[in-house]
Chains A and B, each alone.
Chain A
């Protein structure tokens, strides 16, 4: 006969059997995980770039726009190197771990860029739209990093996109966009960009807002009940710092936040530089790896961020002070699109779309060509002297070498290519 449910007392609980330990929980049985010895699950490039960092002090001068001297190896200044790390200006294959801090050589191109920067600090971005080109390994990314460092020294805001491949190779998620400017959005990439931008430019983001912005509260599945509480940032009361500080922790879509940020930066008087590295990802893959509902591949300017970049390149949108700098990449196969746009090649009317994108080339015609040449002998000598002083050359007996003939040998072998020069000094070949 049913009498009702008896309450469960603690005394009853103490009489209950112990919970059975699950067999796969070896630690619960007292099993101690044995160390598997030295080594890492990461591949070599990841290990070398993160764990083999040299710890000694660096005696080099800092890269400062006011005191640039040709053929001198300089450090990136402490106040900007952290920001550059956040922006992704230092790559994994650049052997930066061989030095206490990332270094670069001051060349003619550095001095020219410094002059361009000075001019851009007082004029709007339509006057400074540059494409950095050159052969593979010649130092385009490093030159761009030098520009970003000098811009940070002038307290400018730098919005850096360090790898345009992320927008076209299909590695990110994508979905329909709620904005008028584009058809598709890429939430993961947008979130990462906003985070990096915020971390790198915290000190310069105290810009009062000129418009309001609202963030709709995003509730998890269990929290769906209750009143929606949106968070609003008001014009003149809050700053861009407040907005982005909230955005980096916001779990919802950030497309509207990104566009809002750009709108605020365009309206402010703080110098803003938009830099895009590996820009030739757009020329090599204008038709991205993403597919629409009809299973057709999507052209890259249908996405929010690429269309935003193109609007600044075209001049449809502009910063009151600042510029747009894009850099090509040697890893992308050479294409006629950028060459024709910059005036290096003649337009071929019968070229295939894979070789020449006429619509994109017309947009790129507003860019000014900035070529980075190979190193000359003096520059090779300066770098070699630094490498010898740092003791990073282990594949030769450095005590017995004649410096001039060694320099000539390296110049001949590398043809003045900085990447090949550094590789020939640090790597052993058989």
Chain B
């Protein structure tokens, strides 16, 4: 009895609501013209704009979905990956601004680049407008490409500022035209680096370019030991020399001054005493 009463009541409510709303209003608001739909229920229903709304990074996932769809469409087309040599895609920071901000992970950006490179490698004559438009969304504009290569310049005081690192040391080097004075952490070179091998490392980039008496060097260095700091200063001086005169780059490269020494302390492994040393072997 109560069930029958509830259904009659519901029906009457619905009829009343249908009679109150004119069909033209529903049309103007873009809702379905089906007379059996309930406009109020239609208003309160929120539909996500993107189908990937419920994923962790909807914007990126949508991009990947679009690209994957395009790839599936064009998978059989011939492609050559060397065509991508001159193409500049968004870097991580630029893509972050349009694809989720802090939600974006580096591996997601790499996944995107993989798809983009694969699609842009397709023969250009076979790329249709949709594909080109899709790819252009992720390309850096040509004028912007040139501005990305920021050539470091001398500052207002004529100093070249460069950073060099070695092991745990980091050196900020200020190189300015002068007579050959060196100050490291407000101490002269000889008192800060008493070992001659360290001093030879510091002077080597200048010796290679015959510019020992032409520049004054001011260095702020921290971290690591003296030898590591000397290596960091050497790299910093090389980079600063290139800022003063970019033509010296090849000479410094050939002398080995521009290569960052990536050797660092190897981690200790489980089951070993140190990185490589094993505990004493015992027969029994």
State the interface size on chain B (CB cutoff 8 A): 19
Distance A330 CA – B108 CA, assembled complex (angstroms): 60
B49 nearest CB across to chain A (Å): 65
| Pairwise interchain contact B180-A411, C-beta atoms closer than 8 A | yes
Distance A415 CA – B193 CA, assembled complex (angstroms): 11
| Pairwise interchain contact B203-A413, C-beta atoms closer than 8 A | yes
Residue pairs across A and B with Cβ atoms less than 8 A apart, 23 shown, are A136-B191, A137-B190, A377-B179, A377-B213, A405-B212, A405-B213, A408-B212, A409-B213, A411-B212, A411-B213, A412-B180, A412-B189, A412-B206, A412-B213, A413-B199, A413-B200, A413-B203, A413-B212, A415-B181, A415-B190, A417-B188, A417-B190, A424-B196
B205 nearest CB across to chain A (Å): 11
Q: A253: CB under 8 A from chain B?
A: no
| Pairwise interchain contact B213-A429, C-beta atoms closer than 8 A | no
Distance A430 CA – B200 CA, assembled complex (angstroms): 10
Q: B142: CB under 8 A from chain A?
A: no
Distance A417 CA – B212 CA, assembled complex (angstroms): 16
Q: Which of B198-216 contact A (CB under 8 A)?
A: 199-200, 203, 206-207, 210, 212-214
Contacts of A411 in B (CB 8 A): 180, 212-213
Most chain B CB atoms below 10 A, which of A374, A413, A420? A413
Q: B197: CB under 8 A from chain A?
A: yes
Contacts of A424 in B (CB 8 A): 196
Contacts of A430 in B (CB 8 A): 197
Q: A371: CB under 8 A from chain B?
A: no
A405-B210, A408-B180, A412-B212 are known contacts. Are A374 and B203 too (CB-CB below 8 A)?
A: no
Q: B182: CB under 8 A from chain A?
A: yes
* Total inter-chain residue pairs, C-beta < 8 Å: 53
Distance A407 CA – B179 CA, assembled complex (angstroms): 11
Contacts of B181 in A (CB 8 A): 415
User: Which of B179, B190, B207 is within 8 Å of A420, CB to CB?
Assistant: B190
Distance A423 CA – B190 CA, assembled complex (angstroms): 12
Q: A135: CB under 8 A from chain B?
A: yes
Q: Which 6 A-B pairs have the closest CB atoms?
A: A408-B213, A412-B212, A408-B212, A415-B188, A412-B180, A415-B190
Distance A135 CA – B187 CA, assembled complex (angstroms): 11
| Pairwise interchain contact B180-A377, C-beta atoms closer than 8 A | yes
Distance A408 CA – B199 CA, assembled complex (angstroms): 14
Contacts of B197 in A (CB 8 A): 429-430
Q: Mark A382-419, 1 if CB is under 8 A from B, else 0.
A: 00000000000000000000001101110111110100
Contacts of A135 in B (CB 8 A): 188, 190-191
Q: Assuming A417-B188, A429-B197, what are 20 further A-B pairs, CB within 8 angstroms? A: A135-B190, A374-B188, A377-B179, A377-B180, A377-B213, A405-B213, A408-B180, A408-B212, A408-B213, A409-B203, A411-B213, A412-B180, A412-B213, A413-B199, A414-B190, A415-B181, A415-B188, A423-B196, A424-B196, A429-B196
Contacts of A374 in B (CB 8 A): 188
Please give me the residue from chain A that is nearest to B216 by CB atom: A412
A114 nearest CB across to chain B (Å): 27
Distance A377 CA – B207 CA, assembled complex (angstroms): 17
Q: Which of B169-194 contact A (CB under 8 A)?
A: 179-182, 188-191
Contacts of B179 in A (CB 8 A): 377
Most chain A CB atoms below 10 A, which of B179, B196, B207? B196
| Pairwise interchain contact B207-A409, C-beta atoms closer than 8 A | yes
B58 nearest CB across to chain A (Å): 59
Q: Which of B5-34 contact A (CB under 8 A)?
A: none
Please give me the residue from chain B that is nearest to A330 by CB atom: B191
Contacts of B203 in A (CB 8 A): 409, 412-413
Distance A409 CA – B215 CA, assembled complex (angstroms): 12
B207 nearest CB across to chain A (Å): 6
Distance A414 CA – B179 CA, assembled complex (angstroms): 13
Most chain B CB atoms below 10 A, which of A377, A420, A430? A420
Contacts of B212 in A (CB 8 A): 405, 408-409, 411-413
B230 nearest CB across to chain A (Å): 13
Distance A22 CA – B179 CA, assembled complex (angstroms): 74
Contacts of A377 in B (CB 8 A): 179-180, 213
Contacts of B189 in A (CB 8 A): 412-413, 415
Please give me the residue from chain A that is nearest to B217 by CB atom: A412
Please give me the residue from chain B that is nearest to A376 by CB atom: B179
Contacts of A420 in B (CB 8 A): 190
Contacts of A405 in B (CB 8 A): 210, 212-213
A182 nearest CB across to chain B (Å): 37
Distance A136 CA – B194 CA, assembled complex (angstroms): 11
Please give me the residue from chain B that is nearest to A136 by CB atom: B191
Q: Mark A337-369, 1 if CB is under 8 A from B, else 0.
A: 000000000000000000000000000000000
Contacts of A417 in B (CB 8 A): 188, 190
Most chain B CB atoms below 10 A, which of A409, A415, A417? A415
Contacts of A136 in B (CB 8 A): 191
B179 nearest CB across to chain A (Å): 7
Distance A423 CA – B207 CA, assembled complex (angstroms): 19
Most chain A CB atoms below 10 A, which of B190, B199, B210, B214? B190
Q: Mark A132-146, 1 if CB is under 8 A from B, else 0.
A: 000111000000000
Please give me the residue from chain A that is nearest to B196 by CB atom: A429
A372 nearest CB across to chain B (Å): 14
Distance A414 CA – B188 CA, assembled complex (angstroms): 9
Distance A412 CA – B207 CA, assembled complex (angstroms): 10
A412 nearest CB across to chain B (Å): 4
Please give me the residue from chain B that is nearest to A138 by CB atom: B190
B212 nearest CB across to chain A (Å): 4
Distance A415 CA – B188 CA, assembled complex (angstroms): 7
Contacts of A412 in B (CB 8 A): 180, 182, 189, 203, 206, 212-213
Most chain B CB atoms below 10 A, which of A377, A411, A412, A413? A412
Q: Which of B91-116 contact A (CB under 8 A)?
A: none
B222 nearest CB across to chain A (Å): 21
Please give me the residue from chain B that is nearest to A408 by CB atom: B213
A56 nearest CB across to chain B (Å): 29
B186 nearest CB across to chain A (Å): 13
B273 nearest CB across to chain A (Å): 31
Contacts of A408 in B (CB 8 A): 180, 212-214
Contacts of A407 in B (CB 8 A): 213
A328 nearest CB across to chain B (Å): 15
Distance A409 CA – B179 CA, assembled complex (angstroms): 11
Contacts of B214 in A (CB 8 A): 408
Distance A62 CA – B66 CA, assembled complex (angstroms): 91
